[in-house]
Amino acid sequence: MTVLEDLTQYDLERYLFGTVHRKFVQDEQVTTFDFFCIVIWKSNRAKSRVAARLMNRNADLDAAVQQLIGDIRGAADNRAKLKVLLQDWQLRLPMATAILTVFYPDDFTIYDFRVCDQVGDFARLGEYSNVDRTCEGYEAFVAAVHAAVPGELSLRDKDRALWGRSFSEQLRLDIRRWSTSGDGRESSRVLHQDEAVSPVRLPS
């Protein structure tokens, strides 16, 4: 890789919503590298589990990625696309929605615990055993994200705004707790990248 190519990996969100999204829209090959950039962006700790689940369907990882992407393309509508990932590929809701958000940012948004904190009522959505119930709940979640941020922002920017709001609220709360306790050791809920209802995205 060239230095310029190396730099594209530093700003992973820009790479995903620029290069990878363009490849998908223009029917170019989304490579295994591209796909796992999405996985790592959502949750670095999940990458081995996701690889294992894909290889349960096809022992050739490259072929499995192409099969998964083909299944998404071939699904009849948005609900069917989500069901493909949840039911056929056995991905969890946060990861499934991260993948679909990169490919279809106007229709999907990431199911994320920070955003759940802001819109309410959806914290257990990813725990449902009934896929149709999960999909129905997710559609309500998308509507709640739209409603929570007024104005003409894109769905993607509304997600970013809610994530940023949650982040800043949590940090201010932690700072007050540290100040009250007299040291930095007693914050009762400092959020780390690996914690939570769903894995935390790296801030963009």
Question: What's the whole-model pTM score?
Answer: 0.87
pLDDT at residue number 190: 44
User: How far is it, in rounded angstroms, from Cα 27 to Cα 159?
Assistant: 26
Nearest to 160 by CA among 112, 91, 107: 112
Which residues lie below 8 Å from residue 176, measured CB to CB, with a gap of 6+?
Answer: none
User: How far is it, in rounded angstroms, from Cα 70 to Cα 17?
Assistant: 19
pLDDT at residue number 42: 98
Q: What does the domain layout of the chain look like in residue ranges? A: 3-158
User: How far is it, in rounded angstroms, from Cα 97 to Cα 102?
Assistant: 9
pLDDT at residue number 9: 86
Q: Which positions of the chain have pLDDT values less than 70?
A: 182-204
pLDDT at residue number 56: 98
pLDDT at residue number 4: 82
